[in-house]
Structure 1
């Protein structure tokens, strides 16, 4: 959830860059805890199966028709939404697949994603980029800067080793150990929960902040941490990448919609993106794309322009 600055770059860059345990002195047997690298290839949804929709293609601005592609700006540092393959050059993730799917519906030959620093994307809309699909949480401030077409609802969730062997209770996390990424909203929220536990006379939460979600995942699977707390799609992707050794427990909390950003002045493209996104929702394509990354639960059913938040 790119709601705060800390989630836009600092900790998110390393999210799920699935590597070895950060504490080399304490590691469980490899067969129980290892997970693939986040840069490993993930076979996304085959967007070539998506047919153009004539009515929507007719809405596309002439400049895009001439270029015959939809150009996206993304920070490519935030798995599973957008990140780079192991070659360090090729963007992948569900946002990259969604851009290609939008282009297909709009009758364009391709949807191309270029890597950009997160804060530079919105200012470059309408010049360098046609759209920005980069896990943008919709906020009043962003709606002042760009048109936002909603497509996901992303919140935070707890994850535990499959079967919840340490009997973690998300309704009452007091006294448990929880792994979080440094500098994230989830770290701040866990600290607030811990303070509330102490105010109620309960045992504080043992908050374990690390730089890599992969290290947290490894420790949860190995039983060193009772749970992890992260964006819900991050928990889903951890499950995919760990072969099902992590599972979400409890409800998603503190959720907020995310949107595709389009230049404020480009009402024609905004309308085309909204119509194309609604088609992906109605035909089940959006959920199928997200399912590859364990994020199907985040799909919205209505694509709205600048929804109230």
Structure 2
């Protein structure tokens, strides 16, 4: 997929947004936050289920994590169904996957909700032991950190129900399209499409960029944009949660892997997470984390550290 260059993909679900966009949050697996949803720092921990730890994996974690029994994980909870806030509760597919991994590692998870752009520097600066936030694995990111593949996602377009404007994702020149700022769709996909439009003598796509996917979704619901682009699981979830107001357009394309982010020096910890993912795939916990969120189509069978990507 257009590899998420400096970004992720996002849908923030808050109480106010539920009314504005017509979304209703659903699913299982959550952790209450004691901090806010902005630059957030403090959270409550998610206890690992009793009796499921693999001591060999625990021993591969940094000594500070072994001593505290807590894995500090950064996320940007604005990307339903992958990670989002419902009131003061953080939940989502990625959160359920990370909690299942932590159970195998024998630690609790302490989540910090922060801006997406701050997460990589939070990991490299030792603010977090890891980060999970729908990060596409890219060569640029692999220069800074280790990334452990755990999922595969593509890009999909969303339009108003019935596609009254006749939007064709392959010929959207001159159309108004909404997108979350900093995503692959914003930074790679749409610029390439705009260049193709101008090269063909057609008008550019008019891009409405928003800090949150919630606002990008609302722009289509309210008619300010004719279409939007988002990661495939996010697009599908937005359609589901807005009832009969939106529908998917075209096929999923440019699939690419998501990765859990670990500091570059912590190769043993990255391998421990990879092995933990393989173990939860074997015992069914991985499937159980994906299915409630409709994420099973992006499941992977291998969980490599730093897979080759282009």
TM (normalized to structure 2)?
0.72
Q: CA deviation at 1:52?
A: 5.0
Determine the structure 1 residue equivalent to 2:271.
Answer: 271
Quote the residue 1:246 is aligned against. 246
Partner of 2:280: 280
Per-residue CA distance 1:172-218 (angstroms, 9 max, x = gap) = 334544333345442453343244235445x5365240425334434
Aligned-residue CA RMSD (Å): 3.8
In structure 2, do the counterparts of structure 1 residues 301 and 248 end up closer, same or farther at CA, with 3 Å as the change threshold?
A: farther
How many angstroms apart in 2 are the aligned matches of 1:296 and 1:48? 25
Moved more, 73-82 or 254-263: 73-82
Give the direction of change, closer, same or farther, for the CA distance of 1:92–1:300 in structure 2 (3 Å limit): same
Contact 1:102 1:111 in 2 (8 A): no
Deviations along 1:86-136, one digit per CA (max 9) or x if unpaired, are 33xx4333322222111223344x3221234324322144xx433222333
Which residue of the other structure, out of 22, 26, 31, is the alignment partner of 1:35? 22
C-alpha contact 1:2 1:136 (8 A) present in aligned 2: no
Q: Mark the CA change 1:59 to 1:198 in structure 2 (over 3 Å): closer, same or farther.
A: closer
In the alignment, the residues of structure 1 paired with residue 262 and residue 181 of structure 2 have an alpha-carbon distance, to the nearest angstrom, of 31
**Offset of residue 232 of structure 1:** 2.1
Pairing 1:69-148 to 2, within 5 Å after superposition = 69-87=70-88, 90-108=89-107, 110-116=108-114, 117-125=118-126, 128-148=127-147
Q: Which moved more, 1:272-281 or 1:77-86?
A: 77-86
Aligned to 1:180, the other structure's residue is in SS state strand
How many equivalent pairs are there? 285
Please name the residue that 1:27 is paired with.
none
- Deviation, 1:235, is 0.9
Inter-partner Cα distance in structure 2 for 1:263 and 1:185: 22
Rate the CA distance shift 1:105–1:248 in 2: closer, same or farther, 3 A: farther
SS in 2 for 1:190: helix
Contact 2:169 2:250 in 1 (8 A): yes
Provide the rounded CA distance (Å) in 2 between the counterparts of 1:51 and 1:97: 16
Structure 1: gaps (5+ residues): 21-29
In the other structure, the counterpart of 1:217 is 217
* Cα contact 2:29–2:92 (8 A) shared by 1: no
Which residue of 2 is the match for residue 26 of structure 1?
Answer: none
The aligned counterpart of 2:169 is 170
- In structure 1, what is the Cα distance between the partners aligned to 2:243 and 2:171? 28
Counterparts in 2 of 1:142 and 1:187: CA distance versus 1, 3 Å:
closer
Aligned residue in 1 for 2:306:
306
Q: Shift of the alpha carbon at 1:274? A: 0.8
Where does the alignment leave 5 or more consecutive residues of structure 2 unmatched? Answer: 31-45
- 1:15: Cα distance to partner? 4.9
Question: 1:162, 1:50 → 2: CA distance?
Answer: 42
Pick closer, same or farther for the CA change 1:263–1:292 going to 2, 3 Å: same
Deviation at 1:257, TM superposition (A): 1.8
Residues 291 and 118 of structure 1, relative CA distance in 2, 3 Å threshold: same
Cα distance change of structure 1 residues 52 and 144 upon mapping to structure 2, 3 Å threshold: farther
- In the alignment, the residues of structure 2 paired with residue 250 and residue 45 of structure 1 have an alpha-carbon distance, to the nearest angstrom, of 31
Q: Secondary structure at the match of 2:97?
A: helix
Moved segments of 4+, more than 6 Å: 46-51
Residues of 2 paired with 1:121 and 1:255: CA distance? 27
2:15 touches 2:86 (CA, 8 Å); kept in 1?
A: no
How far apart are residue 165 of structure 1 and its match? 4.3
